[in-house]
Amino acid sequence: TQLLEQSPQFLSIQEGENLTVYCNSSSVFSSLQWYRQEPGEGPVLLVTVVTGGEVKKLKRLTFQFGDARKDSSLHITAAQPGDTGLYLCAGEVDFGNEKLTFGTGTRLTIIP
C-alpha cells in the first residue's frame, strides 16, 4: 500500500502565524480527507475533497486538492492554540472500495 507522505513531520509555531502542511503521493486518489487528532482521542474528519484543483475553506483552514489528485495542502491562517494536534490526510484510491490510505501525520504545536 502506497503511503501518503506528509510534511513537515513536526511543526511548532507561535500563535498568530500562518502555516501550510503538505500531503503527497505518487498515486491518484478519487477523494482525499483531512483529519485532526488530539491526544488520547480518535481522529475527527475536517474535510473531504474530490475534484482536482478543489479548494475548501473551514474558518481559518484552507484545503486544496492538487490538479492531478495526487497531493493536497492544508493552510492555517492566524494559528491558535486550539489548532494544536496531529493532522492526518487520507486518500481513497478506488471510489467505493472503502479502503483509505493514511498519511504519516504532521504534529502541530501552537505556542501561546
Partner 1 sequence: DVKVTQSSRYLVKRTGEKVFLECVQDMDHENMFWYRQDPGLGLRLIYFSYDVKMKEKGDIPEGYSVSREKKERFSLILESASTNQTSMYLCVSGRVADTQYFGPGTRLTVL
Check binding of 85 to partner 1 (CB under 8 A): no
Closer of 31 and 62 to partner 1 (Cβ): 31
Q: What is the 8-class DSSP label of residue 80?
A: -
Check binding of 1 to partner 1 (CB under 8 A): yes
* Cell numbers given for 21: 502542511
| Nearest residue to 23 via CA among 14, 33, 13 | 33
Q: Tell me if residue 69 falls in helix, strand or coil.
A: coil
Distances (CA, A) of 106 to 30, 39, 51, 67, 87: 22, 13, 23, 22, 5
Check binding of 11 to partner 1 (CB under 8 A): no
For the CB of residue 58, give the shortest distance to partner 1 in the complex, in Å: 14
* Cell numbers given for 29: 486518489
User: One symbol per residue from 12 to 41: x for binding partner 1 (CB under 8 A), - otherwise; what is it?
Assistant: -------------------x-x-x----xx
Check binding of 3 to partner 1 (CB under 8 A): yes
Which residue do the cell numbers 500562518 mark? Answer: 18
Interaction site with partner 1 (CB under 8 A): 1, 3-4, 31, 33, 35, 40-45, 88, 90, 92, 95-96, 98-100, 102-105
